[in-house]
């Protein structure tokens, strides 16, 4: 069980590193495109589409890590005003809603991915991109997000503890 936990933790960290590398690649592609156009040449057609997909994947790949680090957007106006069992119950309800939402997105994403693979359609942009590429990460990533919220649901950690102690509640 410990080996599985270590592998899972490494996966979440690796996805975050991959997200960072992806955003760096987008940055470099944009600079390259601007420089090429500035000197009067025509930039490669794929750059615009590639950067759009990078932005999608950057967001998805970093999501499980952001939940783990409590670095995502969080509205805690109600929960931080509660105390005792009411606060504990509200927190658990929030985690449960997040788990169910993430699993719904994973299910829908998987369904969209399967349909796109089966249909073999392409998305017409500056280049033709297989439609399934836009859906490929949805199911795995939202499943990981659900796992992260499940860790909060069954564990002792809280999304709200560090935020309220640091005084940066939203």
Q: How many CB atoms lie within 10 A of CB 20?
A: 14
What pLDDT digit, counting tens, does each position of 119-137 carry? 999 988 788 899 999 999 9
146 has pLDDT over 90: yes
Tens of pLDDT along 88-105? 888 899 899 999 999 999
**Scanning the structure block, which residue is given the tokens 């987008």?**
26
Please provide residue 110's backbone torsions phi and psi, each rounded to the nearest 5 degrees. -65, -45
> pTM above the 0.75 mark?
yes
């Amino acid at each position: 069980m410990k080996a599985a936990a270590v592998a899972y933790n490494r996966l979440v960290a690796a996805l975050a590193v991959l997200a960072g590398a992806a955003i760096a690649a987008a940055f470099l592609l944009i600079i390259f495109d601007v420089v090429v156009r500035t000197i009067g040449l025509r930039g490669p057609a794929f750059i615009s589409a590639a950067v759009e997909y990078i932005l999608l994947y950057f967001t998805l790949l970093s999501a499980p890590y952001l939940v783990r680090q409590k670095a995502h957007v969080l509205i805690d106006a109600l929960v931080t005003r509660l105390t005792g069992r009411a606060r504990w119950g509200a927190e658990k309800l929030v985690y449960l809603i997040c788990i169910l939402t993430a699993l719904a997105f994973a299910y829908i994403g998987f369904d969209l991915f399967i349909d796109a693979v089966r249909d073999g359609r392409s998305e017409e942009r500056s280049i033709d991109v297989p439609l399934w590429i836009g859906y490929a990460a949805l199911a795995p990533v939202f499943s990981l997000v659900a796992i992260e919220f499940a860790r909060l649901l069954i564990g002792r950690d809280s999304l709200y503890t560090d935020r309220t102690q640091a005084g940066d509640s939203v």
